[in-house]
C-alpha cells in the first residue's frame, strides 16, 4: 500500500506502522499539503520518505506543457534514486510520449489518471511498471470504476 500524502506530519504518524511500503504524490496533493512542485523540493521529499524503514518506493508525478518537458522533469526526479523513485505520468497523448521516452531511458513509470481500458493497454505496451486508475472519479462520473 502507498500513503497518498506529501505531509510529513502524516508520514510520521503512519509510516512507522509498516503498513505502507511507499509514498505517492501528485500536483493536487502537493498543493493541498503546501509543498512546492519543483525538482529540488520533490527530491528532498523523496529523500525524507525513503528514510522510513518500510518505504521502498516513492511515486512522484512529472509535469510540463509537452512531452519533452515532462520527460526532462521525470529524468531529473528519477535521478535521485532510480531504483526507488517511480515517475507518474498522466495518461494523455503527451504523457504517453513522455512515459515511453522515460521507460526507454530506464526510468520506472506509473501511468496515472487512467479512466479507460485502452489506457491500461497503452501503459502495458510501453512497458510502464504501474497503472493508477481513478476508480473514485469514474464512480463519481456515473461509471463503474471496477
Integer Cα distance of 65 and 41 in angstroms: 20
Alpha helices in the chain (DSSP H): 8-14, 27-32, 39-49, 67-78, 93-104, 117-126, 135-140
Catalytic residue among 72, 79, 88, 97: 88
Residue 110 contacts residue 131 (beta carbons within 8 Å): yes
Contacts of 105 (CB under 8 A, 6+ apart): 75
C-alpha cell at 5: 500524502
SS3 131: strand
Q: Catalytic residue at 97?
A: no
SS3 5: coil
Which residues are catalytically annotated? 88
Amino acid at each position: 500500500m502507498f500513503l497518498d500524502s506529501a505531509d510529513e506530519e502524516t508520514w510520521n504518524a503512519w509510516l512507522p506502522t509498516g503498513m505502507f511500503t511507499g509514498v505517492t504524490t501528485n500536483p493536487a496533493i502537493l498543493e493541498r499539503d503546501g509543498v512546492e512542485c519543483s525538482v529540488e523540493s520533490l527530491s528532498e521529499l523523496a529523500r525524507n520518505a525513503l528514510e522510513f524503514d518500510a518505504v521502498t518506493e516513492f511515486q512522484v508525478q512529472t509535469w510540463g506543457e509537452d512531452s519533452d518537458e515532462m520527460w526532462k522533469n521525470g529524468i531529473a526526479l528519477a535521478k535521485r534514486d532510480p531504483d526507488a523513485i517511480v515517475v507518474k505520468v498522466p495518461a494523455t497523448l503527451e504523457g504517453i510520449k513522455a512515459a515511453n521516452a522515460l521507460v526507454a531511458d530506464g526510468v520506472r513509470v506509473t501511468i496515472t489518471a487512467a479512466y479507460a481500458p485502452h489506457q491500461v493497454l497503452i501503459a502495458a505496451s510501453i512497458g510502464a511498471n504501474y497503472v493508477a486508475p481513478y476508480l473514485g472519479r469514474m464512480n463519481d462520473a456515473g461509471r463503474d470504476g471496477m
